[in-house]
Amino acid sequence: MSKDYKQMWSDLEINLDAHDGLLGVLSDAYTNIYLSQKNRPEGMKYFDFVISEVHGLRIEEIVEAKKQGRKVIGTFCVYVPEELILAVEGVCIGLCAGADVGTDEAEKYIPRNTCALIKAFMGFKLAGLCPYVQTADLIVGETTCDGKKKAYELFDEMMNGKVYVMEIPNKKGQDDKALWLNEVQRFSAKLEKISGKKITPEKLKEASKVVNEKRKALQRLASLRSADPSPISGLDALLVNQVAFYDDPLRFTAKVNELCDELTERLKTGKGVSAKGSPRILISGSPMAIPNWKIHAIVEGSGATIVGEESCVGERNFASLMDENFSSLNEGLQNIADRYLTINCACFTPNDERLTDIETIAKRVKADGILHYAIQFCTPYMIEATKVRKVAEKRKIPFLRIETDYSMEDMGQLKTRIEAFLEMMGKGARV
């Protein structure tokens, strides 16, 4: 941290002692996992800085934005339209927590066999550890999986009524599309009410451009990883995708594009993070919220490179753009509704489009193997893994299925399984 932020944290009612402990653990993990990597692009220095200031400078910026009358909107799902939040000059923060924190406290409210992501967002609040949650004027939940849906009821009580829930349909038929459009309209009215600002077609266009440019930068990064050797590690690419959820969008986009310029230069000289021909893995499944780096650290520590994430912290977040051609607010809201329904989350049934996405991405990134990752007790992704396996078998792509939580207890066991998978995978199975 560049300075002492204790007063700011204290004003936000952060538990200072526990928070010091959390930052210490985070800093050690980052040093061991990230800073120990060899051959990192220079452009990652910005993201190292952002992480070092994750609860410092960025929170200071948000507090300052609040003083200027901007509203802070926390979200837990890539289905929440960022464009609308920006159209009322709000600050959009993706809140999903990826650390095993406050679990004991969370388990007083929700069953032990709840996914780690849900336990973490409740745990962070209960343990007084998340300054982002503390700055939020509104927290947007969604009716995706049952665990989240029910947890938001309890979370709303903890947040003194600040939780607003969007209804996400479970199917994608005509009635579902109408329901979803109505939800987008309802959310835009809610944002206008809490911000006191009107969403005009012009403001929505401006906001759509900002978010689309961010998506394009992330698409560019994803496509550069198709090279052999990849010019960037999976760990670093994951970090960029995680930072996408809370950094200032304009600054973030500029920094990702700078990084991509450097990676493009690397490709010209054939410089990469691993030797040409090293095993290439596509990750598919539940989202990996910051600071969940567990699987990437094991896979890359075992000599393979992760070249893509079919995940909401990855491709599902940036794969499709919003159509910026609209002339009325109604048309703009329709375009938002259409764009977001292209996200193929396992909470939908059927969800065969996700299988097509996995095949397409595996081909594009020249994956040698697919590792399906589900957070333990994440029923939608755990069950859908069976269909993903069938796709991998059909394409003769080696497949490994892993279910784990945020604890480090199974690191040894996972490493053994992943190493055996890489060994079995060998070469020559590339799609």
- Answer for which of 99, 256, 347, 367 binds ligand BJ8 (CB under 6 A) is 347
Contact segment (CB under 6 A) with ligand BJ8 among 33-41, 201-209, 290-298, 376-384 equals 376-384
x/- contact string, 116-155, with ligand BJ8 (CB under 6 A)?
-xx-------------------------xx-xx-------
Least Å from the CB of residue 24 to ligand BJ8: 27
Q: Which residues contact 289 (CB under 8 A, 6 or more apart)?
A: 94, 96, 97, 98, 117, 120, 242, 245, 313
Q: Where are the alpha helices (DSSP H) in 31-75?
A: 44-52, 57-67
- Torsion, CA 122, CA 128, CA 131, CA 137, rounded to 10: 60
Stretch that binds ligand BJ8, among 65-73, 238-246, 340-348, 384-392 (CB under 6 A): 340-348
For residue 223 the two structure tokens come to 């496509």
Bridge partners of residue 163, in order along the sequence: 139
The radius of gyration computed from the CA coordinates of the chain, to the nearest angstrom, equals 21
In the list 222, 322, 375, 400, the residue contacting ligand BJ8 (rule: CB under 6 A) is 375
Query: Between residue 235 and residue 254, which ones bind ligand BJ8 under the rule CB under 6 A?
Result: none
Minimum distance between the CB of residue 317 and ligand BJ8, rounded to whole angstroms?
8
Query: How far, in Å, CA of 195 to CA of 322, rounded?
Result: 23
Shortest spacing between CB 312 and ligand BJ8, in angstroms: 3
Which residue type sits at 213? E
Q: Which is nearer to ligand BJ8, 247 or 405 (CB)?
A: 405
Nearer to ligand BJ8, 295 or 343 (CB): 343
Three-class secondary structure of residue 369 per DSSP: strand
Site for ligand BJ8 contains 295 (CB under 6 A): no
Q: Which two tokens stand for residue 394?
A: 């059909």
Taking Cα atoms as reference points, which of 110, 155, 113, 116 lies closest to residue 136? 155
* 168 neighbors 75 (Cβ within 8 angstroms): no
The least distance separating ligand BJ8 from the CB of residue 121, rounded to whole angstroms, comes to 9
In the bound state with ligand BJ8, the residue whose beta carbon lies nearer, of 79 and 406, is 79
The verdict on 288 binding ligand BJ8 (CB under 6 A) reads no
Q: What angle do CA 261, 262, 263 make, to 5 degrees?
A: 90
Count of positions on this chain that bind ligand BJ8 (CB under 6 A): 20
Among the listed residues 26, 133, 343, 425, the single contact to ligand BJ8 using CB under 6 A: 343
The SS3 assignment for 295 reads: helix
What is the C-alpha end-to-end distance of the chain, expressed in Å? 44
The answer to the question of residue 380 lying near ligand BJ8 (CB under 6 A) is yes
Query: Which stretches of the chain bind ligand BJ8, using CB under 6 A?
Result: 77-79, 115, 117-118, 144-145, 147-148, 286-287, 312, 343, 345, 347, 375, 378, 380-381
